C-alpha cells in the first residue's frame, strides 16, 4: 500500500502548491480519476477540499458545473474554468488533440488561452488545478514551462491483487470457475501480471479463467504469455526469454565475476550490508565478442526478467512520441522490478545529440534518462551495450550513472579456447558426426593458436564451416576440417585494425577490461612467442580484477 500512498501524497502536494496544469499520460482513466477524487476529498492531504469536474469533447463540462451553457467547445470550457469561483480540480480528457498530435496543427487559440489562464489559476483566491488526462503525451513547445508532467506508475502488487480477489469473489457467487489457489500461488499469479495496467491484468486473469474453466497455478504461463504480447505491442520493449547462461559464454571472466558478486543485491539482505542496489553496466567493445550474449545470460544468472529496449524505435517516431515511449519503457521495467532493462546499441539513440536537429527532443529524453539512472529507487538493473562508443555523450559516462563501464576486446588465447569449447560442445553431440575428434586441451589450443584476432562470432563460423566440410563429404569431422577454415578465414580485425585501435584507445581511459589479468598476461606471452602482428599486441581497457 505504501506505493499508492506515495503517489497520493505527491499529487496532493502538486495540487496544494498550486501547480496550474498537470499532465498525466495513461490509458487508465478510471484509476486516475478515483485517485484524484480521493485526494480532492481528503482534507488531511490537501487542506482545502476541492470538487472534481471533468470535461470531454463528447459531453462538455460534467458534474457540479454542468448546465452552464454548451461547454463542448474546449475554449468555452477554459473560460468556465477561468471564471469558476470555488475550489476545484478540472480533469480535461484528450487535450492532446489540441496540442498538435499526429500531424495535426496545434490549436493556437487554445494554447494561448491556457497560457493566459495559467497565472490566474495560480493566483485565484480559490485553489484551482487543471489535469490533462490523455492516452498519449503531447506537449506543445509554448506550454512546456506551464505544464508539469506527472508519471502515473503502473499498478502495484496490491492493486492487482485486489482485482484478482474481486474476480475470484464474483466467480464464487456464480460458481462457474473452479478456483484452486493457495495464497502463495495467488501471489505468483499477481506477480506474473505486474507490468500490466489494471484492465489489462483483469483481461489476462479473465482469459486464464475461461480458457479451461478454472484458475490454478498453471495459469501463470497464460498470464506471462498475455503480458509478453501486450508488451510486444508497445513495439519498443520485448521480453527476452533466453535459456543462455554464463557457461555458454567463453571468457570475459572479469565481467562475469563482477556480475556474480552482485547477484541478489536487490534483496533486503543486501541492504542490511548497507549496499545500494546496483544501477547497471555499460558494456562496450569490438562487435561480435559476446556483449549481447552476456546481457541475455545475466537474466538466467540472476533469475530476473529481462526487457530489451529498442532505442532506435524510440527515436524513430513510428510508434508514438519518443518522450512518451521512454517513459513507458521505464515504467514497465519498474513495475516488474526487480528486473533487468537491456538497452541494446545505446549509441543509436544517444549519440550525436547536439546535431540531431529535432528541436531538443533527444536531449530532453536523454536528460530524463540520466536523472532516472541517477535517482531510481526501484531495482531495475540497466545493461547498456554499445559498439560505437566514440559518439556517446560524455554525460552518460560520468560516475554515478553506471556502476562500471566494461570493455570487451578481441578474445585472448585462453578465451578462444573457451569459446571453441562452447561451440564445439554445442554442436558435436552425434557420435557419427564427432567420430574420432575429441574436444580436448590439445585440439582446443591448436585451434585457438590459429585464430588470433578472431572474434567470438567468427569462431562460431569456423566451427559451423568446418562441420560443412564433413557434412558435404558425408563423413565425421576431423581437426583438419577446422584448421583448414581457420587458415582461409580473414577476420574482420585485419581489415578493421584502425577502428579497433580507436576503440581501445577510448577504452584505456574509460573502461575496465572484461578479460581478467590472468588471461591477458598469458595471452601476451603466447602472442610474443608466436610473433603475431600488431592487432593482438595491445589490449583495451584497464586491468582491475574483481
One residue of 290, 379, 491, 540 binding ligand ADP per CB under 6 A: 290
Q: In the bound complex, what is the minimum distance in angstroms from residue 297's beta carbon to ligand ADP?
A: 10
Number of C-beta neighbours around residue 527 at 10 A:
18
Cα(519)–Cα(250) distance, rounded to whole angstroms?
12
The one segment of 221-229, 249-257, 326-334, 369-377 that binds ligand ADP by CB under 6 A:
249-257
CB of 34 to ligand ADP, least distance (A): 45
Q: Which of these ranges, 161-169, 291-299, 431-439, 528-536, lies near ligand ADP under the rule CB under 6 A? A: 291-299
Distance CA 27, CA 22 (A): 16
Q: Which of 97, 255, 293, 417 binds ligand ADP (CB under 6 A)?
A: 293
How far is 420 from 203, CA to CA, in rounded Å?
47
Measured distance CA(180)–CA(280) in Å, rounded: 40
Cα–Cα distance measured from residue 282 to residue 296, given in angstroms and rounded to the nearest whole number: 14
Per CB under 6 A, does 456 bind ligand ADP? yes
Work out whether 540 is an interface residue with ligand ADP (CB under 6 A). no
Tell me the residue number closest to ligand ADP, measured at CB.
456
Cβ partners under 8 Å of residue 13, min gap 6 = none
3-state secondary structure of 149: strand
Binding residues for ligand ADP restricted to 365-394, rule: CB under 6 A: 385
Q: From the CB of 2, what's the least distance to ligand ADP, in Å?
A: 39
Handedness of CA 395, 400, 401, 404 (dihedral sign): positive
Give the residue with the Cβ less far from ligand ADP, 288 or 540.
288
- 200 vs 460, beta carbon nearer ligand ADP: 460
> Which CB sits closer to ligand ADP, 160 or 255?
255
Site string for ligand ADP, 9-48 (x = CB under 6 A): ----------------------------------------
Pick 26 or 385: Cβ nearer ligand ADP: 385
Stretch that binds ligand ADP, among 35-43, 218-226, 285-293, 320-328 (CB under 6 A): 285-293
Residue closer to ligand ADP (CB basis): 53 or 408: 408
Does residue 18 contact residue 127 with C-beta atoms inside 8 Å? Answer: yes
Shortest Å distance, C-beta 314 to ligand ADP:
19
Quote the cell numbers at residue 358: 529535432
Query: Smallest gap, in angstroms, from Cβ of residue 252 to ligand ADP?
Result: 6
Q: How far apart are CA 466 and CA 172, in angstroms?
A: 63
Q: Work out which of 14, 206, 240, 457 binds ligand ADP, going by CB under 6 A.
A: 457
- DSSP code of residue 336: T
Contact assessment for residue 341 and residue 200, using Cβ atoms and an 8 Å cutoff: no
**C-beta of 288: minimal distance to ligand ADP in Å?**
5
Q: How many helices (H) and strands (E) does the chain have?
A: 25, 15
Residue of the chain from 131, 236, 289, 330 that contacts ligand ADP (CB under 6 A): 289
Among 348, 304, 286, 205, CA closest to 539: 286
- Does position 149 bind ligand ADP by CB under 6 A? no
Where would I find the H helices in 84-182?
108-123, 157-174
- Kindly tell me which residue out of 60, 127, 155, 250 binds ligand ADP, with binding defined by CB under 6 A: 250
| Selected range binding ligand ADP among 173-181, 284-292, 315-323, 428-436, rule: CB under 6 A | 284-292
C-alpha cell at 515: 578479460
One DSSP character per residue, 353-402 reads GGG--STTHHHHHHHHHHHHHHH--S-EEEEEEES--TTS-HHHHSBTTB
In the complex, minimum distance from the CB of residue 356 to ligand ADP, in angstroms, rounded to a whole number: 24
Residue closer to ligand ADP, measured from CB, 291 or 504: 291
Judged by CB under 6 A, the residue of 65, 189, 249, 485 near ligand ADP is 249
Burial 87-119 (b: 16+ CB within 10 A, else e): bbbbbbbbbbbbbbbeeeebbeebbebbeebbe
Q: Which of 71, 129, 292, 299 binds ligand ADP (CB under 6 A)?
A: 292
Identity of the residue, 226 or 415, whose beta carbon is nearer to ligand ADP in the bound complex: 415
291: contact with ligand ADP by CB under 6 A: yes
Per rule CB under 6 A, is residue 460 in the interface with ligand ADP? Answer: yes
Angle separating helix axes 441-449 and 479-488, nearest 10 degrees = 10
CA within 13 Å, CB half, 416: 28
Q: What is the dihedral of CA 348, 326, 240, 388, to 10 degrees?
A: 20
- Per-residue contact flags (x/-) with ligand ADP for residues 401 to 440, judged by CB under 6 A: ------------------x--x------------------
Q: Which is nearer to ligand ADP, 155 or 285 (CB)?
A: 285
Query: Is the CB of 293 or the CB of 512 nearer to ligand ADP?
Result: 293
Instruction: Report DSSP state, residue 542.
Output: B
List residues near ligand ADP by CB under 6 A.
249-252, 287-293, 385, 419, 422, 456-457, 460
Amino acid at each position: 500500500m505504501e506505493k499508492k500512498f506515495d503517489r497520493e501524497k505527491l499529487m496532493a502536494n502538486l495540487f496544494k502548491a498550486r501547480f496550474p496544469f498537470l499532465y498525466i499520460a495513461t490509458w487508465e482513466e478510471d484509476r486516475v480519476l478515483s485517485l484524484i477524487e480521493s485526494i480532492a476529498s481528503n482534507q488531511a492531504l490537501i487542506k482545502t477540499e476541492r470538487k472534481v469536474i471533468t470535461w470531454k469533447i463528447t459531453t462538455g463540462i460534467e458534474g457540479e458545473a454542468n448546465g452552464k451553457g454548451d461547454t463542448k467547445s474546449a475554449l468555452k470550457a477554459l473560460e468556465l474554468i477561468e471564471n469558476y469561483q470555488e475550489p476545484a480540480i478540472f480533469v480535461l480528457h484528450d487535450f492532446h488533440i489540441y496540442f498538435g498530435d499526429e500531424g495535426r496543427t496545434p490549436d493556437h487559440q487554445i494554447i494561448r488561452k491556457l497560457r493566459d489562464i495559467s497565472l490566474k489559476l495560480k493566483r485565484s483566491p480559490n485553489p484551482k488545478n487543471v489535469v490533462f488526462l490523455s492516452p498519449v503525451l503531447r506537449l506543445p513547445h509554448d506550454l512546456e514551462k506551464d505544464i508539469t508532467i506527472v508519471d502515473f506508475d503502473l499498478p502495484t502488487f496490491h492493486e492487482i491483487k485486489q482485482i484478482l480477489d474481486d474476480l475470484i469473489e464474483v466467480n464464487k457467487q456464480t460458481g462457474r470457475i473452479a478456483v484452486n489457489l493457495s495464497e502463495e500461488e495467488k501471489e505468483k499469479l499477481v506477480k506474473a501480471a505486474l507490468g500490466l495496467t489494471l484492465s489489462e491484468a483483469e483481461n489476462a486473469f479473465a482469459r486464464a479463467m475461461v480458457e479451461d474453466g478454472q484458475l490454478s497455478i498453471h495459469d501463470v504461463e497464460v498470464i506471462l504469455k498475455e503480458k509478453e504480447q501486450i508488451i510486444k505491442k508497445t513495439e519498443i520493449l520485448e521480453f527476452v526469454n533466453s535459456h543462455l547462461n554464463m557457461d555458454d559464454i567463453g571468457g570475459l571472466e572479469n565481467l562475469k565475476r563482477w556480475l556474480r558478486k552482485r547477484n541478489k543485491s536487490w534483496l533486503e539482505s543486501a541492504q542490511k550490508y548497507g549496499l545500494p542496489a546496483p544501477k547497471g553496466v555499460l558494456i562496450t567493445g569490438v562487435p561480435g565478442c559476446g556483449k549481447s550474449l552476456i546481457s541475455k545470460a545475466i537474466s538466467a544468472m540472476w533469475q530476473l526478467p529481462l526487457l530489451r529496449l529498442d532505442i532506435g524505435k524510440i527515436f524513430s517516431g513510428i510508434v508514438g512520441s519518443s518522450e512518451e515511449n521512454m517513459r513507458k519503457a521505464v515504467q514497465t521495467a519498474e513495475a516488474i522490478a526487480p528486473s533487468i532493462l537491456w538497452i541494446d546499441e545505446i549509441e543509436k539513440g544517444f549519440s550525436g545529440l547536439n546535431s540531431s536537429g529535432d528541436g531538443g527532443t533527444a536531449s530532453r529524453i536523454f536528460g530524463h534518462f540520466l536523472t532516472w539512472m541517477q535517482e531510481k529507487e526501484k531495482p531495475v538493473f540497466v545493461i547498456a551495450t554499445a559498439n560505437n562508443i566514440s559518439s556517446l555523450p560524455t554525460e552518460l559516462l560520468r560516475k554515478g550513472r553506471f556502476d562500471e563501464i566494461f570493455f570487451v576486446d578481441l578474445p585472448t588465447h585462453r578465451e578462444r579456447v573457451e569459446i571453441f569449447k562452447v561451440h564445439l560442445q554445442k554442436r558435436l553431440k552425434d557420435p557419427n558426426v564427432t567420430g574420432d575428434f575429441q574436444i580436448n586441451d590439445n585440439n582446443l589450443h591448436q585451434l585457438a593458436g590459429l585464430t588470433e584476432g578472431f572474434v567470438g562470432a567468427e569462431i562460431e563460423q569456423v566451427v559451423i564451416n568446418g562441420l560443412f566440410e564433413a557434412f558435404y563429404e558425408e563423413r565425421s569431422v576431423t581437426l583438419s576440417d577446422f584448421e583448414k577454415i581457420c587458415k582461409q578465414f580473414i577476420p574482420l580485425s585485419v581489415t578493421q585494425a584502425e577502428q579497433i585501435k580507436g576503440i581501445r584507445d577510448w577504452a584505456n581511459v574509460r573502461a575496465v577490461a572484461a578479460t581478467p589479468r590472468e588471461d591477458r598476461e598469458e595471452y601476451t606471452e603466447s602472442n610474443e612467442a608466436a610473433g603475431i602482428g600488431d592487432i593482438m599486441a595491445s589490449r583495451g581497457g584497464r586491468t582491475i580484477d574483481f
